[in-house]
Amino acid sequence: MNFDFTDDQKSLKEEARRFLTDASPLSAARGVLEGEGDGYDARLWARIVEQGWCGAAIPETYGGYAMGYVELCALAEELGRAISPVPFASSVYQFAESLMLGGSEAQKQALLPGVVTGEMVGTVATTEGPGEIAAGRINARVANGRLSGTKLPVVDGLAATHAVVLAQGDDGPGLYIADLVSDGVMREAVATIDPSRGAARLTFDDVPVEPLGAGDGIALLARIEERAAVMIAFEQIGGADRCLEMARDYALERYAFGRQIGSYQAIKHKLADVFTRNAVARSNAYYAAWALSTDSGELPVAAAAARVAASSAYWLASKEAIQVFGGIGVTWEADNHLFYRRARHLQLVLGSPSTWKRRLVDRLEGRLAAGELA
Amino acid sequence: MNFDDSPEEAAYRLKVRAWIAANKPDLSVLGPEDRVWTEPHKDLATRWQVIKAASGYACIGWPTAWGGSGGTAIEEAIFNQEEQTAGLRFSYFVTGLHMLLPAVLKFNDDDASRALVPPAVRGDTIWCQLFSEPAGGSDSAGLRTRAVEDGDDWIVTGQKVWNSGAQIADYGMVVTRTDPTVPKHKGLTAFWLRMDTPGVEVRPIKMMSGDAELNEVFLSDVRISDSQRVGAVGDGWAVIIFTLMNERAALGSGSGLSWRELIAMARNTPAGEGSAMDDPAFREWLADYYVDAEAIRLQTFRNLSALSKGEAPGPEGSAGKLLWANGAQDLSSRAVDLQDRFGLIDDPELAVANGAFHHRLLWAPGLRLGGGTDEIMKNIIAERVLGLPGEPRVDKTVPFKDIPSGR
Ligand SMILES: Cc1cc2nc3c(=O)[nH]c(=O)nc-3n(C[C@H](O)[C@H](O)[C@H](O)COP(=O)(O)OP(=O)(O)OC[C@H]3O[C@@H](n4cnc5c(N)ncnc54)[C@H](O)[C@@H]3O)c2cc1C
């Protein structure tokens, strides 16, 4: 047992941090937030693609580098720290995982190499309105292999070339692969809580699509998102740790009443609470990364636990960092809000924490009912 | 104890309710993005202030000698409640009428001060509070803006920051350091000034929510007459405390989105076969939220009872401010999450409730800071209400200029 990154994984992480410190300063996220680019930083994206990171967990047969999921998680943590404004999560954790889990051999052959080279950017289009995803509320329809309907918000909907779309088919909800650069696809940017991760409204008018996998699309989507949740948890932890560091540094530097504010127990205990939540998230996320990398039956529980813990850690860290900064923290100019926004983005993007909490406990219950001991 | 209106109060309530209904301006002229501090919003608020002033409802509880209507604090509170219900509580005039002018009149009750009141009541003038500085926010006695006596005037130089509404204010109250050689609380002096006095420069600060409430105010050799001094030289700390107590009491009284809007939203948010309202975890959370929000509302009655007995708002008001600010952050966070993935959208044209909950989520961190931070509120409760010893202080007895500042 080694409940930590290996030395190789650590050096990959260090290298990624060095690279992102230079290539993805916070000004990159801010630039996109303030309206540069189509909801992402195209130059930064090209450089990240060049690193080969998109292929970290993709098998060599499909053009990937098959380093492994723990390695991908290590990269995710660094991307999360840098709040990089790129479609990595959509394309790699969601779209590529959809293909690997549900795609036919031909689909994998056709699309995965493009994800690795960045020639293709994928996303997943699930949502149409408020509330959790449910079979009865999906209005997008596929008939005779053609999709019509509207999806919003679709994260990276402007950057993407392809999307996995949740739509009603003849046998209920299913997943379909759509080429977004085809006729009949209309895309409009929509404003979101985190504009550094652009989103769009996608309207499909009789667009040819291919089914992805068979059977219940909502169940398949849940399995895809379970996998994505592990990587997203690492992004959340990266961001939460960065918030903690920023707040710690500021608490050392700022004086009030003739003392460093970090000398007040109110501030010390606040930061210690954030540290504790981050540690809880990290433990759960490591376990989930292991479960994902070994195809363990633990994954459904571990992934949900990681997501729940990482979502609350990031929320706490991002809001309390603002609190430590005082007035400066609520300005547009300070970087705090970039993290506060990203925390909310990540906690909603695969569905809200309450959905995952329920899922987690359902699974725990199911496990006991099945007579498992652990 | 009696929370019911007395017969006179009930009659007064009916009267003002009818009056508000008959005189209220049309709120539908405001679009979803015409929020507080935008021109259309301010214009509407000003129009309402003018209407109220013409009928004697602008400063109900103030003595007539001050330009008020000489009514009771209870009447004023009843009016405020009815105004709130009608969606007509605006903040532009609160700083002047409920925080700063009472201090001006309390500490410098002369003809010039009294002349400031009628235009403020009428909605002609807006006031801003020029207290905080880059080096002193929580530490509101740690101010460095200097005022140096020059004949019958003072020359003021320094920088203020986080000043709400300074960009539209006609008047401000500024606290300055007049003596850096004595301990910090003893060397402060307050003045009122016109914001168009030469040497006053206002620079807007964009907030994380995108809003334009806050400003930096630079003061370069600003000449202020000694007749505009509020309180004695060296008595500025008493003026600060007086206004902050009023501010915290006013903030703690709670406004903005409430459980009502949240329930309305939840009922319209589908979940399972029904709505988000069916989720037991949400319902339990809502119960917890409600008791806090209700406590804030009821506390205003207790404050009123104290006021009507002539007591000033005390440090207990800090609890209300804490609950209200943190409640606002929790409420907006819950509301956005309830929408699930669709909650990402904050475009007012598309988002649930025109994005009001999202806007609140981005605004709420400021509520936990402005008017005294969470941590300062807790220190006040612990030290001033519960009588626990203060932190060791390194800044109280030494001359201001010798206090460590990290630079
Ligand atoms: C929306 C908004 C409106 C405002 N409006 C006005 C206005 O109109 N006029 C005006 O003059 N000012 C205004 N302010 C300023 C406000 O009063 C200050 O921001 C606030 O007092 C905090 O000061 P600071 O920003 O300097 O933070 P700091 O005082 O530097 O605080 C930084 C952190 O240290 C903590 N801290 C400081 N001292 C202690 C201690 N002794 N014990 C424990 N923790 C401590 C704080 O709680 C905070 O978490 C406004 C602020 C905001 C956000």
In-domain check, residue B112: no
8 A C-beta contact, residue A351 and residue A133: yes
Averaged pLDDT for residues B5-25: 93
Q: How far is the CA of B130 from the centre of ligand 1 (A)?
A: 13
Residue B407 has pLDDT above 90, yes or no: no
- pTM higher than 0.80, yes or no? yes
The CA distance from A45 to A89, in Å, is 12
Catalytic residue list contains B247 = yes
Last residue of some domain: B61, B90, B119?
A: B90
CATH of the domain at A176: 2.40.110.10
Of A270, A344, A351, the CB nearest to B336: A344
Is B79 among the domain residues?
Answer: yes
Q: Are B191 and B282 found together in one domain?
A: no
The answer on A361 and A240 residing in a single domain is yes
Asked, for residue B140, whether it belongs to a domain, the answer is yes
Residue where one domain finishes, among candidates A159, A183, A215: A215
Strand pairing class (A199-212; A172-179): antiparallel
CB B239 within 8 A of CB B103: yes
ipTM score here? 0.96
> What gap in Å lies between CA B65 and CA B67, rounded to an integer?
6
Give B254-266 pLDDT, tens digit per residue.
Answer: 457 889 999 999 9
| Number of domains making up chain B | 3
In terms of domains, do A85 and A101 share one?
Answer: yes
Residue after which a domain boundary falls, among B90, B106, B139: B90
Does a structural domain hold residue A74?
yes
Write down which residue in A172, A199, A215 finishes a domain.
Answer: A215
Q: What are phi and psi of A228, to 5 degrees?
A: -60, -35
Mean pLDDT confidence for B291-310: 80
CATH code of A295's domain: 1.20.140.10
User: How many structural domains is chain A composed of?
Assistant: 3
Contact status, residue A197 vs residue A178, Cβ threshold 8 Å:
no
Q: Which residue has the tokens 């999806």?
A: A151
**CA B102 from centroid of its chain's CA atoms:** 14
Over 70: is that where the pLDDT of B253 sits?
no
Reduce the DSSP state of residue A40 to 3 states and report it.
coil
B207 and B313 together in one domain: no
Does a structural domain hold residue A2? Answer: no
Residue B96 in domain = no
Residues B276 and B349 in one domain: yes
pLDDT of residue A99: 98
Q: In angstroms, what is the span from residue A15 Cα to ligand 1's centroid?
A: 39
Q: Which of residues 244-273 of A touch B (CB under 8 A)?
A: 253-260, 264, 266-267, 270
- pLDDT, tens digit (0-9, with 9 covering 90-100), for B155-186: 999 999 999 999 999 999 999 999 999 999 99
Burial of A105 (0-12, 13-18, 19+ CB in 10 A): exposed
- Please provide the DSSP assignment of B89-100 as one string: --STTHIIIIII
The answer on A206 and A255 residing in a single domain is: no
Q: What is the pLDDT of residue B65?
A: 80
Q: Alpha-carbon distance B218 to B145, whole Å? A: 10
Same domain, A111 and A86: yes
Q: What is the pLDDT of residue B310?
A: 67
A211 and A225 inside one domain: no
Tell me how many degrees the CA angle A143-B271-A185 measures, rounded to the nearest 5.
35
Atom of ligand 1 nearest to the CA of B160: 11
Question: Out of B247, B284, B349, B383, which one is annotated catalytic?
Answer: B247
Amino acid at A186: M
Same domain? A186 vs A236: no
CATH number of the domain within which B300 lies: 1.20.140.10
Judge: B339–A130 Cβ closer than 8 Å, yes or no: yes
Kindly give the parts of chain A with pLDDT less than 50: none
Tokens 């394309």 belong to A91
Given CB atoms, is A133 within the 8 Å cutoff of chain B? yes
Residues of B whose CB is below 8 A from A327 = 132, 137, 161-162, 214, 369-370
Position A374 in a domain: no
> Are both A158 and A36 inside the same structural domain?
no
Residue with tokens 């992480």: A13
**The predicted structure's pLDDT at residue B81:** 85
Residues B372 and B282 grouped into a single domain: yes
Question: Do the chains contact at A329 and B365, CB–CB below 8 Å?
Answer: yes
Q: Would B37 be classed as within a structural domain? A: yes
Average pLDDT over residues B282-298: 94
Looking at residue B302, what is its pLDDT? 78
- Cα distances (Å, whole numbers) of residue B257 to A149, A192, B35, B168, B363: 34, 20, 13, 25, 12
Residue B251 pLDDT grade (very low, low, confident, very high; cuts 50, 70, 90): low
Q: Are residues B61 and B25 in the same domain?
A: yes
Q: What is the pLDDT of residue B90?
A: 86
Q: Chain B: nearest CA to A139, how far in angstroms?
A: 14
Whether residue B297 lies inside any domain: the answer is: yes
Q: What is the pLDDT of residues B22-40, one digit of tens each?
A: 999 998 888 877 888 889 9
Q: Which residues of A241-280 are buried (b: 16+ CB within 10 A; e: fewer)?
A: bbbbebbbebbeebbbbbbbbbbbebbeebbeebbebbeb
Closest-CA residue of chain B to A321: B365
Instruction: Verify that B379 and B270 share a domain, yes or no.
Output: yes
Domain shared by A159 and A250, yes or no? no
Residue B259 belongs to some domain of the structure:
yes
Domain boundary among A185, A200, A215: A215
**Which of B208, B268, B340 comes nearest A337 by C-beta?**
B208
Instruction: Indicate if A224 and A364 belong to the same structural domain.
Output: yes
Mark whether A250 and A151 lie in a shared domain: no
B36: domain range?
Answer: 7-90
One domain for residues B229 and B283? no
pLDDT at B250: 64
Provide the CATH number for the domain around residue B131: 2.40.110.10
A245-272 pLDDT, tens digit per residue, is 999 999 999 999 999 999 999 999 999 9
Q: Per-residue pLDDT tens for B44-102?
A: 999 999 999 999 999 888 888 877 888 888 888 889 889 988 888 888 998 999 899 99
Percent of chain B past pLDDT 90, that is, above it, reads 69
A59 and A179 fall within a common domain: no
B375 falls within a domain: yes
Cis status, amide bond into A153, omega within 30 of 0: yes
Tell me, what's the pLDDT at A1? 64
Supply the range of the domain harboring residue A237: 219-369
Q: Examine the domain organization and report whether A249 and A194 are in the same domain.
A: no
Confidence check: pLDDT of B239 > 90:
yes
